[in-house]
Chains A and B, each alone.
Chain A
Amino acid sequence: MPVKSRIQIIVDGIPLRVEAGVPLLATLKAQDVAIPTLCYHPQWEQQERCSLCIVEVLTAQGIWKAAHACSLYCEPNLVIRVSSDCIHSLRAWAARLLLARGPFRDSAVARTLHDILDAASADPDYQEPPLIWSENRAMPAGCILCGRCITICRKIGKNKLTFLGKGQRLTISYINDHADKAACGKCHACSLVCPTAYIQSNGQAAFSAKLYR
């Protein structure tokens, strides 16, 4: 196993020695720095789908620029901060939009999202205005369209799930393809990786959208 080089990055003003080339989000988790996330999986490319892991990077021009921690990689002289008004405000918008895709079977999800909203608002009595759109959804409530189920189904070679459509009509579909009509339901891989517990038993039950009826 090759020895990975250790480099120095600065997080909230504190220098840390970390492994080079590792996603920042994983590094921060290992250092017990709390960054919220729903869609990130350490071994996959799934990134930037839930927009909760927002941090700020100091650019060469001396400006703090918002970025997703899951798609930033540790490299020498990386300077980041994990808390600021801007960060909280951005995470709060992501949280609002995600909450509008609820309710979620896993109550921890809603709690996490509400915590993010609390962190962003100065006034504890501040009522969220009911402005978020949630009508005419193509995807039933509880799914945040992170796509982890699709990725794992592909990785194990079953290829039964796919995104369908785009934009507001984006949804997930289960395809019982003609080549392998073995019914879904034995491996439970998708339900194991679903971050909101939307998938209860298997993909076929969870995703009823179809391109052809």
Chain B
Amino acid sequence: MLSNRYTPDSRLNLDSPEIKEVLRRIDAPPPQTVQPQAAAKIAAFLANRYSLRTIPLRLAELAEEGHHQLCPANMSRISVGVATCGQAAGAGFRSILLSARPDFVNDTMVRNVGCLGACFAEPLLDVRTPDGLHYFFGQVNSKNSIVHWSIIHTAQKRSWHRGIWLIMRERQPGMLTGFGDLELEKDYTGYLGTFLEHQKRRISGNCGLIDPHSLPEYVATGGYFAFAKALLQLSPAQVLAEVTASGLRGRGGGGFSTGEKWEIGAASRDAERIIIANADEGDPGAYMDRALVESDPHRVLEGIMLAAYAVGARQAHIFVRHEYPLARASLRRAINDARDAGLLGNNILGTGFLLDIGITQSAGAFVCGEETAMIQVLRGNRGEPLPRPPYPAQKGLNDHPTVINNVETLANVPWIIAHGAGVFREVGTAGSPGTKIFCLAGDVPSAGFIEVPLGTSATTVVEKIGRASPQSVKALQIGGPSGGIVPYSDFFLDYTSVSSIGAMIGSGGLVVLNKNRCLVDLVHHLVGFMADESCGQCLLCRDGLATLKHMLAILTGKEAKPELLIAKLEELSWAIATLSRCGLGRSAVNPLLTTLKYFREEYNAHLDAICPAASCKAMIHFEIIPAHCTDCENCSLLCPVEAITLGPGKGPERYIFNHDRCIRCWTCAAICPHGCIQAVSGGINACEIAHSDNC
């Protein structure tokens, strides 16, 4: 029997019948009756907004049901963010505890929602009171037990309590069709509000607000109204024209015009066309596709449906990365619910349009994000890219025209059809219209995923949203391992501007790097990643990248550096980029070439066995800063190889570092309570360690 008293170290037995009952309750929709007079209210509002002349009854019913769950008139609603990040931070536990409260039954509902994108604040929890106020609590993890009662009181007494991070209010109380309907009321943190305020959350507008497993909640925000409008009022050619007019460009990395790609597919003489949604998201550091699919899977489905309608496809596949089990589960549930509601399958909305969507799981291969490699895998072959042309949109899976779009690209489509190409273009730049979701990670306090207009300046993102101090930032890595590493400056984040400085927006990963990050070592790591992921067909990509990795290992290691090492790095990089069949080989050298261009002095320093960031193991040794040392002996006790011995006497002078024994594991620096152990590069104590560490 679960007691009402929360104990901080309670361990829940997830197999117990009580917990199973609680989980069943969270998943089941709360019993609500829909008043007949008010039945069409939200549906009529949405239909009017999106110029939908007749509302399918099923859609109206779903909208009403969802609206009562999103904006309950007489209950509070606690939304707990339990996407991957939230779960990792302990949110699931919190959700179960709250749902188990017997005193919530009539006045508060607890729902699981997706990710708001403020990963630094996870687990995030939103208490909505019937007057349309949203009280956000951050970092509600298992160590934070006091806040549990604040949450409960806020929900039941519907007023402010200690521990609230942020309050937002519905512009029109009782109306919540996305993040855009909220405005900032009060920010108690000084930064969560700023994090959200500088964003324009069009595509991610539902993430963190709705229950991703709930079709009614999606519909209540306007979901599937664009699809209904397309099916009932527009021809496929009109839908296609709207997407072309919007100027939407592929958000997965290529930046190719989406409308143009669709046109190639639609113009084919082959009547059988196929849509593939790319949720492979191989770029390390990019997780916007995961967040979208976990937090708002129906939006992705709606994008696929619209693409299928416009291009004339009757089958679609979603190719999902193996590392995203939650995303697959969300999609599976969404597809089943959409099918049950008559939005997938035969004769959709009575129009004769038919579509089936299947999920294909990848199994750990970055190259499969490349279009032709993906098609190979769908055919049951190794993921080895084919020469292009022919392009998949001309001839792809089973030789049919196959339109492959990234899931973020597809998630833009319902918005475009709902609001129109013109409104879409109001934000962004002429060459890069619309918004882009970026994943801000690395040395930045407010890390997470954000959505901003294309053309936003890097400083807005890194300093205003990310809260990093400008002096601390050395470089930005943009676009993952295929992108570039550029010096931090005030450039614009749009396709043209970023490529003019030698990088590419790619999938939208933005890793902030401070002066303690060795760029040469990071490039070594990225090139090594690409070398491992090369499918192996092309000599230059396969053996060339491995050679580059070897050269970089020499550069960051203890061996003597051969003459012309850097010149050879450049030459070989150019050969690989020129002779590789696919984008992996061609772009794998971007981090190297951009750092050689902008940070050459780091490479030159390594030639002299100095690591300016004091990071490369072979070039550093550890020292104590005597001023802060309190002689606690922790470093000596915890060194795993006993490289710190204690001489006679007292004080920092008696700590003797044996630099030959030291394995550069950083344990001493990490556990020193006063941070007085630092790595220093250069000088005779730079190490003689085993070479194998540098792989």
Contacts and interface: CB of A to CB of B under 8 A. Distances in A.
A50 B540 CA distance: 9
A145 B537 CA distance: 8
B254 interface: no
A66 B579 contact: yes
Nearest to B543: A97
A97, A129, A133, A167: which has the most chain B beta carbons within 10 Å? Answer: A167
Nearest to B553: A133
Nearest to A98: B539
B427 interface: no
A131 B536 contact: no
Interface in A157-195: 163, 165-170
Contacts of B543: 97, 100-101, 132-133
Given A93-B544, A97-B539, A98-B539, A129 B568 contact: yes
A130 interface: yes
Interface residues of A, number: 32
B549 A167 contact: no
A93 B536 contact: no
Contacts of A97: 539-540, 543-544, 547
Contacts of A132: 543, 547, 550
Contact of B542 (A71, A131, A167): A167
Nearest to A147: B537
Interface string B564-588: 1100100110010011010000000
A89 B535 CA distance: 24
B578 A48 contact: no
A200 to B, nearest CB: 23
B575 A163 contact: no
B365 interface: yes
Main secondary structure of the interface of B (DSSP, over half): helix
A131 B550 contact: yes
Interface string A130-148: 1111010000000011000
B31 interface: no
Contacts of A68: 579
A64 B49 CA distance: 54
Contacts of A66: 578-579
A133 B387 contact: no
B549 A133 contact: yes
Contacts of B382: 163, 166
A94 B579 contact: yes
B563 A93 contact: no
A185 B387 CA distance: 34
Contacts of A166: 365, 367, 382, 532-536
Interface in A52-111: 54, 66, 68, 71, 89-90, 93-94, 97-98, 100-101
B542 A50 contact: no
A166 B581 CA distance: 15
A131 B565 contact: yes
B408 to A, nearest CB: 27
A70 to B, nearest CB: 11
A196 interface: no
A129 B563 CA distance: 8
B262 to A, nearest CB: 26
A114 interface: no
B551 interface: yes
B532 A49 contact: no
A51 interface: yes
A51 B539 contact: yes
Given A93-B572, A129-B568, A130-B562, A48 B550 contact: no
B613 interface: no
A90 B579 contact: yes
Contacts of B562: 129-131
Contact of B575 (A90, A131, A167, A168): A90
B546 interface: yes
B542 A129 contact: no
B365 A71 contact: no
A54 B537 CA distance: 16
Interface in B512-569: 531-540, 542-547, 549-551, 554, 562-565, 568
A155 B387 CA distance: 21
A48 B537 contact: yes
A166 B538 CA distance: 11
Contacts of A101: 543
Given A100-B543, A133-B549, A51 B538 contact: yes
A66 B563 CA distance: 28
A168 B546 contact: yes
Interface in B101-150: none
A62 to B, nearest CB: 18
A130 B536 CA distance: 23
A24 B199 CA distance: 53
B564 A129 contact: yes
Contact of A49 (B539, B544, B568, B578): B539
B551 A131 contact: yes
A167 B531 contact: yes
A88 to B, nearest CB: 12
B534 A49 contact: no
B387 A71 contact: yes
A181 to B, nearest CB: 24
A144 B534 CA distance: 16
Nearest to A162: B382
Contacts of A135: 550
Contact of B534 (A94, A129, A167): A167
Contacts of A100: 543, 547
Nearest to B581: A48
Nearest to B536: A170
Contacts of A89: 571, 575
A51 B563 contact: no
Nearest to A52: B539
Contacts of B547: 97, 100, 131-133
A53 B532 CA distance: 26
Contacts of B551: 131
Interface in B574-633: 575, 578-579, 581
Contacts of A165: 536
Residue from the set B382, B536, B568 with the largest chain A CB neighbour count within 10 Å: B536
Nearest to A129: B562
A72 B690 CA distance: 47
Contacts of B387: 47-48, 71
- Most chain B CB neighbours (cut-off 10 Å) among A71, A93, A163: A93
A66 to B, nearest CB: 5
Q: Which 5 A-B pairs have the closest CB atoms?
A: A133-B550, A170-B536, A93-B575, A97-B543, A167-B534
Given A97-B540, A97-B547, 18 more contacts: A48-B387, A48-B538, A48-B579, A49-B538, A51-B540, A68-B579, A89-B571, A90-B575, A90-B579, A98-B539, A101-B543, A129-B563, A131-B547, A132-B550, A166-B535, A167-B535, A167-B546, A168-B546
16 contacts: A47-B387, A48-B387, A68-B579, A89-B575, A93-B544, A93-B571, A93-B575, A97-B539, A97-B540, A100-B543, A129-B563, A131-B550, A145-B542, A167-B532, A168-B534, A170-B542
Interface of B: 365, 367, 382, 387, 531-540, 542-547, 549-551, 554, 562-565, 568, 571-572, 575, 578-579, 581
Interface of A: 47-51, 54, 66, 68, 71, 89-90, 93-94, 97-98, 100-101, 129-133, 135, 144-145, 163, 165-170
